[in-house]
A and B are shown apart, each in its own frame.
Chain A
Amino acid sequence: MNKFTVIFSLSVRYLKNRGIATILSIAAIALSLFMLIVVGSATFSIARAATDSSVKYPLIVGPDGSSGVRLLLSSLLYLDSPSGLLDAGVVDKLEAEPGVIAAVPIARADNYMTAPIVGTTQGFIDSLGVPLLDWIGKSEEKPQPKTVLSDSSLSNAVIGFRTANRTGLRVGDSFNGMHGMTGEASAHKHKEMSYRVVAILSPTNSPQDDAIFSHYKSVWLIHNRHLANGLQKKFTKEEHAKITYKKEDDTAGLKDAATTLKQVRDSLENNEKAQKFALSKDKFMLTSGKLSAILIQTSSPAVTGRLERKYSSAHGTIAVDTGRTLKRLINYMNKAESSVSYFNYLMLLSVLMLIFVTLIMSLRERKKELALLRSIGVGKKVISMMIMSETLMLVIFGVAVGVVAGHAMLWYIKPYLDLALGTNIEPFMISKMEINGVISTLLSGVVLSLIMSYSVYRMNLVEEIAKG
């Protein structure tokens, strides 16, 4: 029999004999690798979800003065609030540009239970490319409606999969938008119009799952009415008499708000309060004729580049190359990822150190056993090789169990993780983080086993024999 075979099987025997200690060591290594696997694939799929939703719209046009990243975050990923307003007329201009396939208006001002209400068009819903999960009349076997958002039924709302889960909204339910977050001083509920859920989207595994979609004109309607109410409340009877705009004139709620505000300023020329009011509403209130951003589908990167330049300088707008900005964002996320992974690596390291301590301690208990081998004539080299192979095997088992069980576990918990993180995790994907984890664990295992075998080599085992 080959000596290495004997050494190998002796090591296996020893590890088996250590029972629970071996199992715990392997489990500890496996668990810390599992954490790396989860974080690695989750960050990957978060980045991918963002990328997926951005490739459809390579260009975003937003109000001048907002940053590119913020524009992307607010209009596509809904992670930030919009930074200002731009003229809705830009949509027509963009649609007239050669090479523009679609220009989709985005009007974001309110939320329902923190789910962003995104005013847009049916075109945007179509571009998500997922069927409806539920719609009004589905239970009566009515077919899925082709159009859910139109300017003829502004109270319609379509909600994302996770929004439905989180808020409990079902088709047919009504709700009111809220401006700002509960608890903020300026926060208020929009009673001007209630939305009605007409459909729920299937999961897209993108930020859209967390949103509520309505027609952009519904956002105008609500804020026009809000403005009209404000005019009535804020001004005295005498002041109000001078304002030619009357709330009753705008029953549809879609009269041009800019004209109204101009009237306010003109008729109350010397009224400082009125001037201030009109100016701030014009600037910040998403009334008719205004948008938060425009998502543009182009026919080629060249068109994207040309439009980016053109709309960055004129029209009171900035234009953002989605892909490039996203890359910057993902780079930033990778930084965050690596800070998480440092923590994970640190955990892995402390696990290995603990295992090392238990192994070194067990060496002391094994002195007699090793001395016995020496008395039979087993060489020091063979003994240190045996110890080395035990340690290495322990670490390799740990890594193997970690990788295999880790991915299996990830596969098992994927539905829960996806729901919690809004991701579409690929459980069997191997991330860079995992590779790093595996390599660094194996390397530490090698170092560990070398230290172990060296300390055995240096041990004075004869004394153990002499003790009898």
Chain B
Amino acid sequence: MKIDIERLSHAFVSADGDEKKVIKDFSLAIPSGALVRVLGRSGTGKSTLFNIVSGMIVPNSGVVKVGDVDITTLSESARDLFRSKSVGYIFQTFNLLPSLSALENVYVPLLLAGHETENMKKKAGELLKQLGLGAHQTHFPWELSVGQRQRVAVARILLQRPALLIADEPTASLDKDSSQDVKNAIIEMHKQGSTILLASHDPIFDDMVGEFSCNMEKGGE
């Protein structure tokens, strides 16, 4: 899935009315299947950019073409549908619903989002096994370690197979082994042709910089 961002600007308005420009006149063309490492210090707007691309936030101005449609012109429900069909998120933490078991966390949210394929439950179980969580399928998030939780989130992404994977600090809370598992999943998705947006300070990804990177310092100006 190719992404064309043209002259994107976005500002947040705080409670006291102050406008804070986060992204200023930002343009970027990402070919389909690229792995993009988004760089920039904290607070420079990486997450904001992701949320705009995924259709969570509608920017103040600019064009964000994902595939062939300008996502900024879509209705909210159309953007929801787009996310459920084509976008997978991995956040630093809190990727799981506390009231669902590990197995359910892999496929139930996808069902709820209307993303239904055959044998989802069976496939979810197999993915968990592959990620070494075969014995933890019925465990609830609070019964899992941080690394195990992140692997459940990875299993969901692998089940969803989104054309666009957004990984926002996916390894920041993890040890080396778990980080490597997450990285492997990203590489796997990349190999299968997904476009990948990655924001991470983790040196584990440093060997992937060469691919494609952009810097959000100064709002990407």
Tell me the A residues contacting B by CB distance below 8 Å: 1, 3, 6-7, 10, 13-14, 16-17, 368-369, 372-382, 386, 462, 465-466, 468
Contact = CB atoms under 8 A, between A and B. Distances in A.
Interface in B74-94: 76-77, 80-85, 87, 89, 91-94
Given A10-B108, A377-B81, A468 B91 contact: yes
B97 A466 contact: no
Contact of A465 (B56, B84, B108): B56
B97 A372 contact: yes
Interface string B31-62: 00000000000000001100100101100000
A468 B56 contact: no
Given A468-B91, A468-B169, A369 B97 contact: yes
Interface string B93-128: 111111110000000111111111000000000000
B84 A377 contact: yes
B83 A468 contact: no
Q: By CB atoms of chain A within 10 A, which of B48, B84, B85, B112 has the most?
A: B112
Contacts of B51: 462, 465-466
A328 to B, nearest CB: 57
Contacts of A16: 99
Interface residues of B, number: 37
Contacts of B57: 462, 466
A88 to B, nearest CB: 79
Question: Closest 4 CB pairs between A and B?
Answer: A377-B84, A377-B83, A17-B99, A377-B113
A372 B98 CA distance: 11
A376 B99 contact: no
A7 B57 CA distance: 25
Contact of A374 (B56, B168, B169): B56
9 contacts: A6-B112, A13-B99, A369-B98, A375-B83, A377-B80, A377-B84, A380-B80, A381-B77, A465-B51
Nearest to A15: B99
Given A17-B98, A368-B94, A375 B54 contact: yes
A422 B99 CA distance: 50
B172 to A, nearest CB: 9
Interface of B: 47-48, 51, 54, 56-57, 76-77, 80-85, 87, 89, 91-100, 108-116, 168-169
A372 B95 contact: yes
- Interface on chain A toward B: helix, strand, loop, or mixed SS? helix
A286 to B, nearest CB: 75
A371 to B, nearest CB: 9
Contacts of A377: 80-85, 87, 113-115
Given A17-B98, A376-B109, 14 more contacts: A10-B99, A13-B100, A369-B98, A372-B91, A373-B109, A373-B112, A376-B110, A377-B82, A377-B85, A377-B87, A378-B84, A378-B112, A382-B112, A386-B112
Nearest to B88: A376
Nearest to A464: B94
Contacts of B54: 375
Contacts of B92: 468
Nearest to A461: B56
Give the residue among B80, B95, B115 with the most A Cβ atoms within 10 A.
B80
A364 to B, nearest CB: 15
Contacts of B97: 369, 372-373
With a 10 A CB-CB cut-off, give which of A16, A376, A379 has the most chain B CB atoms.
A376
Nearest to A365: B98
A36 B29 CA distance: 68
Contact of A6 (B47, B87, B111): B111
A369 B99 CA distance: 10
Given A17-B99, A466-B47, A376 B84 contact: yes
Contacts of A466: 47-48, 51, 57
